[in-house]
Chains A and B, each alone.
Chain A
């Protein structure tokens, strides 16, 4: 049998440079930087354009304020805006909390009993598909307490994605693992804790990301509908109020706060999801 001698490849002999691989590596490095730099540059460019448009066209500040004026208003009106922000934040956070508890609770109930799901899921769907602005006036007629009314509105908007996603997640547990749990005579409780809830976690966290944004929308919309002022008014009411007074810079300032709140909520829920799943779930894995 002829044995073909092969050169010893354990010591690198050829060039240790591959042009294509180097190009790919360079592109990856560039992309990593661009991911942060490009949105920032475009955002700054947009703001500068906004400013120039106002100045060049001599648009009065009660129609469109310059970005600088909006920032200034954010500072000068802080005594009005920040308490309002806290009110909106509180309603959003509470609504999200109740949405999580209610959504997960209901999902667990649905997973335990098909009949419960058949009975109650139509209500959940109807609540979800009916625009909150059309339900809210009724809610404020029936519910005296303004805070509870606001909470209820925000909750109706926010709970459905939690419910729908968690229900799907609880059902998506591996069927072989279900068999294994049956073979080991696991109780219903053990099955829920050790199999169904962990299986549902990625789905739940996906629902949470959506619900976070929706809770804020629900809180703001409900406040528009509730309309009444007073000490405990949130940002939405401040926008309405500023609109009546043609205080356009303050409207913009309040808008910026709402948008920033939304971004922070999204970042927080995304971070939560990442931290909870990074060790094991496909969605959180880095491809090498």
Chain B
């Protein structure tokens, strides 16, 4: 897989796979969870939805996943992609404790009626991608938090989906594990050119990982700015210490905090 994402030269040529058009989501009791959200996801994008709690970033993800429908507006899939062509990683590893690692990764295939034998190669390939070769027959309880999260990522990758949704996947992990997983996610991104929408409340994570950051604000949940991160994949080990990284992180942080109401503490 020699495809390397290059969001700058190819922006216009890469096909859009998903468009959100003016989407509103209102919850019962007139709570406006999301207002006028529009975005276009192109093949190979790594988009971060960044914002404080209550800004509707998880709602946006659930809308895309088809777990709820927009109150108004539309979500359109393009280029043969569909909501069935998704990989999802939640904040918790969300594994089935009664199944081994490989049986957990098998799940998306199993639900499509594909036998384990026919899926085995892809399962082992996905596990190799997340560095879990040799752990196929283990049960989730035998793994550390970071390893469980890797299994969860392997399960999202295994069907080679058009789009992977990640809902604050590393928020519950310790700092060291989180940084390692961020590094590995970047490597994965370079290897597979996966298209990812990544929900986070960490400025640094969003700048480190993504090429587009949608900064969101709460009450009502909305996108206030899009920030492009013009650093190519694969991003090297020095990306985290580069001046560009620091500058964009500063800019993103200012945007985020400028959007908070005076006196509001997050």
Residues in A neighbouring B86, C-beta threshold 8 A: 183
A72 within 8 A of B: no
Interface pair A183/B66, CB less than 8 Å apart: yes
Q: How many residues of A contact B (CB 8 A)?
A: 21
Given contacts A182-B67, A183-B83, A184-B84, contact A194 B90 (CB under 8 A): no
CA distance A285 to B141 in the complex (A): 10
Identify the stretch in A171-179, A205-213, A221-229, A259-267 within 8 Å (CB) of chain B at 4 or more residues.
A171-179
CA distance A192 to B9 in the complex (A): 48
Neighbour of A176 across the interface among B83, B90, B97, CB < 8 A: B90
Which parts of A173-202 form the interface with B (CB within 8 Å)?
174, 176-177, 179-186, 190, 194-195, 198, 201
Interface pair A198/B111, CB less than 8 Å apart: no
Measured between C-beta atoms, what is the minimum distance from B100 to chain A in Å?
Answer: 9
Given contacts A182-B67, A186-B111, contact A198 B83 (CB under 8 A): no
CA distance A182 to B65 in the complex (A): 9
Neighbour of A177 across the interface among B65, B84, B96, B112, CB < 8 A: B96
Measured between C-beta atoms, what is the minimum distance from A105 to chain B in Å?
Answer: 22
CA distance A185 to B67 in the complex (A): 10
A62 within 8 A of B: no
Interface pair B84/A180, CB less than 8 Å apart: no
Interface pair B111/A280, CB less than 8 Å apart: no
Given contacts A180-B94, A190-B111, A280-B98, contact A185 B84 (CB under 8 A): yes
B256 within 8 A of A: no
Given contacts A194-B111, A280-B139, A280-B141, contact A183 B88 (CB under 8 A): yes
Mark each residue of chain A from 135 to 148: 1 if its CB lies under 8 Å from any CB of chain B, else 0: 00000000000000
Residues in B neighbouring A9, C-beta threshold 8 A: none
A78 within 8 A of B: no
A114 within 8 A of B: no
B110 within 8 A of A: yes
CA distance A186 to B107 in the complex (A): 10
Interface pair A198/B88, CB less than 8 Å apart: no
- List the A residue with the shortest CB-CB distance to B66: A183
Given contacts A184-B84, A184-B107, A280-B141, contact A179 B67 (CB under 8 A): yes
Residues in B neighbouring A28, C-beta threshold 8 A: none
Interface pair A198/B92, CB less than 8 Å apart: no
Mark each residue of chain B from 60 to 74: 1 if its CB lies under 8 Å from any CB of chain A, else 0: 000001110000000
- List the B residue with the shortest CB-CB distance to A197: B98
CA distance A44 to B218 in the complex (A): 72
Neighbour of B108 across the interface among A184, A195, A279, CB < 8 A: A184
Mark each residue of chain B from 87 to 103: 1 if its CB lies under 8 Å from any CB of chain A, else 0: 01010101011110000
Measured between C-beta atoms, what is the minimum distance from A201 to chain B in Å?
Answer: 7
Interface pair B94/A177, CB less than 8 Å apart: yes
Interface pair B65/A198, CB less than 8 Å apart: no
Measured between C-beta atoms, what is the minimum distance from A126 to chain B in Å?
Answer: 35
Which parts of A263-288 form the interface with B (CB within 8 Å)?
279-282, 285
Measured between C-beta atoms, what is the minimum distance from A273 to chain B in Å?
Answer: 14
Interface pair A281/B97, CB less than 8 Å apart: yes
- List the B residue with the shortest CB-CB distance to A185: B84
Which parts of A53-81 form the interface with B (CB within 8 Å)?
none
Measured between C-beta atoms, what is the minimum distance from B69 to chain A in Å?
Answer: 13
- List the A residue with the shortest CB-CB distance to B84: A185
Measured between C-beta atoms, what is the minimum distance from B147 to chain A in Å?
Answer: 16
CA distance A198 to B98 in the complex (A): 7
Residues in B neighbouring A174, C-beta threshold 8 A: 94
Interface pair B90/A198, CB less than 8 Å apart: no
A-B contact pairs, 8 of them (CB 8 A): A176-B92, A183-B66, A183-B67, A184-B107, A194-B96, A279-B139, A280-B98, A282-B141
Name A residues whose Cβ lies closer than 8 Å to a Cβ of B. Answer: 174, 176-177, 179-186, 190, 194-195, 198, 201, 279-282, 285
Going nearest first, the 8 A-B pairs with the smallest beta carbon separation are: A176-B94, A184-B111, A176-B90, A198-B98, A186-B111, A280-B98, A280-B97, A280-B139
Name B residues whose Cβ lies closer than 8 Å to a Cβ of A. Answer: 65-67, 83-84, 86, 88, 90, 92, 94, 96-99, 107-108, 110-112, 139-141
16 further A-B contacts with Cβ under 8 Å, apart from A176-B92, A279-B98, A280-B140, are A176-B94, A177-B94, A180-B107, A182-B66, A182-B67, A183-B67, A184-B111, A185-B111, A186-B111, A190-B111, A194-B110, A195-B96, A198-B96, A279-B139, A280-B97, A280-B98
